[in-house]
Amino acid sequence: MHGKKDGSTQSAIEKKLSKVVDPGTGLDVLRMGMIHDLNVSDGVVSLAFGPSSRHCPLAFRLGVDVYEAVRSIEGVKRVVIRVENFDRAAELEQMLREKARGPSLPMQRT
């Protein structure tokens, strides 16, 4: 993905992601090489997330943690995460898209 990078936002993202730790290894997602193609443009952050294995049992938790860490940064309006090298990538991406949309309101009965 191409686009201009906002240096201060990118630095804040890297700082936040360094605190997202894989409990199985004790290493953060950056040191483990799970984050690729980080791009920041006009408040929209896009990145690729690749869990440590195709069957990683913690991929959903880590994916949500990555999303929440990035979304919590001031100035970030939207987060788009592409999941790579994971057998349930489509399912995790769908869950993250739904998280980005926010909670749905229950239907009112009349």
CATH class of 7-100: alpha beta
What is the share, in percent, of the chain residues with pLDDT greater than 70? 87
- Looking at residue 100, what is its pLDDT? 87
DSSP code for 27 = E
Q: Residue 1 carries which side chain, given as an amino acid letter?
A: M
**Three-state secondary-structure class, residue 83:** strand
**50-95 pLDDT, tens per residue?**
999 999 999 999 999 999 999 999 999 999 999 999 999 999 999 9
For residue 110, with 0-12 CB atoms within 10 Å meaning exposed, 13-18 middle and 19 or more buried, which class applies? exposed
